[in-house]
Amino acid sequence: MRHIPVIVVAGTHSGCGKTTLASGLMAALAARGLAVQPFKVGPDFIDPTHHSAICGRTSRNLDPFMMGEAGVRETFVRASAGADIAVVEGAMGLFDGLEGTDTASTAHVAKILDAPVLLVVDAGGASRSVHAMIRGYAGFDSAVRVAGAIFNRIGSPRHLAMIEETKSLPIYGGIPRRTDLVVESRHLGLAMAAETGMMARFGAVVEETCDLPGLIDLARSAPPLPAPAEAPARPESGVRIGVANDAAFCFYYVDNIDRLVRAGAELIFFSPMTDRLPDVDALYLGGGYPELHAEALSSSRCREDLRRAADDGMPVYAECGGLIYLTERLATDEGDYPMAGVLPAAAEMTGRIQALGYVEARVVGTAPILAPGSAFRGHEYHYSRLDCARDARFALELLRGRGIDGGRDGLTAQNAVGQYTHAYFPEGFAERLVEAAGAYRRT
């Protein structure tokens, strides 16, 4: 068993300030010299970049739909090794889960970890009424330990004093309304951490206005969790897998990266915008913002290197932004840009969401990195659409989700697969990709 002090920062609803508060709490704890392990509930790629920059430790996703309950516990305990405290940022409202259920909600994760919940409440325009809200959240599910509250958008000390006249749950602070600390957003969410350091500045606000010693004690009230079994390390395979890693391709589940390493791969990180294709045996192209960097991607010699490698039979696995990069061209408001030309399709950015939600996929086509009949889960969120060739082949049938073409995903050509689904790798997937890379290397 391992005792890991942990606190789950949950919101009453989206937009109440939980990302700001969670990031500020992480920064304040780190400023006190604590090793803080950050986590994010759900499939979000952007908030974890802010966590990682603040804490100096890689933030992990905790998603029961994609990972299963055992997977959530295993990732939490394994990633928290060596940390003094863990902070889990929730998603949406505390009880908002899959299709109106508890599944994959912040409450679900809190129950899996048996962790205390700190409720972030937007107090703008209210005083005593916030306690009715708090009591509703605290009593909605007896298995969820809503242990305290922090109020956001406090207008003045008098405003906070009026709220404190009534007691519902322990109050750990009141965050004043701040218009000078704002993180810009774009179509897929907040700006990435590399583009702004604003989130870290909330640490001083939390230090000044919140009861940090009390929050640390609250986190210590979490009970121990079972230690995960140590997976035997596989010998190095000699396989090198290239992983696109720059401003255009930056959406990855860290557990997927770890699984490739445990499967024996050496990972070579590179930028398709500025680098030539490295000497590798397979490629992993994650999601991100290729539409914001289309000119650089189209002018880089890497796309020609990639097309030749794919034509030669190199295994290529691409998700969302990586899928767009593998198409023949990308149309944006700024122009029409040639892409790598590996997959028989053209991509176009649109002005509205084309798909958003969880995905369940089953392999129905033939591809060396996808085991026939296997299944996996993931998430899709994109504003682009693809116009595929009439004879295009798809490797995935979606039991849930939209994909590329109304329930089909995994466009294939040669040994390349591109899909809108950001998959959480199931057991055996990383090993299969390494084996396919090894077979290509031998030829």
Question: What are the residue numbers of the active site?
Answer: 320
At 334, list the tokens.
Answer: 């700024």
Secondary element (H or E) of residue 23: helix 18-31
Residue 293 · residue 247 · CB < 8 Å: yes
Secondary element (H or E) of residue 20: helix 18-31
The 8-class DSSP code of residue 435 comes to H
Residue 73 · residue 228 · CB < 8 Å: yes
Q: Is the dihedral of CA 230, 234, 236, 238 positive or negative?
A: negative
Residue 28 · residue 38 · CB < 8 Å: no
Q: How far is CA 281 from each of CA 243, 261, 422, 426, rounded to the nearest angstrom?
A: 11, 14, 22, 21
DSSP per-residue codes, 241-272: EEEE-SSSEEE--HHHHHHHHHTTPEEEEE-T
Task: Describe the strand order of the beta sheet including 316-319 as a list of residue ranges.
Answer: 266-270, 240-244, 282-285, 316-319, 416-419, 408-413, 393-400, 355-363, 375-382, 422-424
Q: Which residues pair with 379 in a beta bridge?
A: 358, 422
Q: Which residues pair with 120 in a beta bridge?
A: 11, 150
Cα(404)–Cα(290) distance, integer angstroms: 17
Secondary element (H or E) of residue 209: helix 202-209
Q: Is the dihedral of CA 238, 241, 423, 250 positive or negative?
A: positive
Cα(308)–Cα(82) distance, integer angstroms: 44
Q: At what angle do helices 64-79 and 106-113 cross, to 10 degrees?
A: 40
Residue 312 one-letter amino acid: D
Cα(1)–Cα(312) distance, integer angstroms: 50
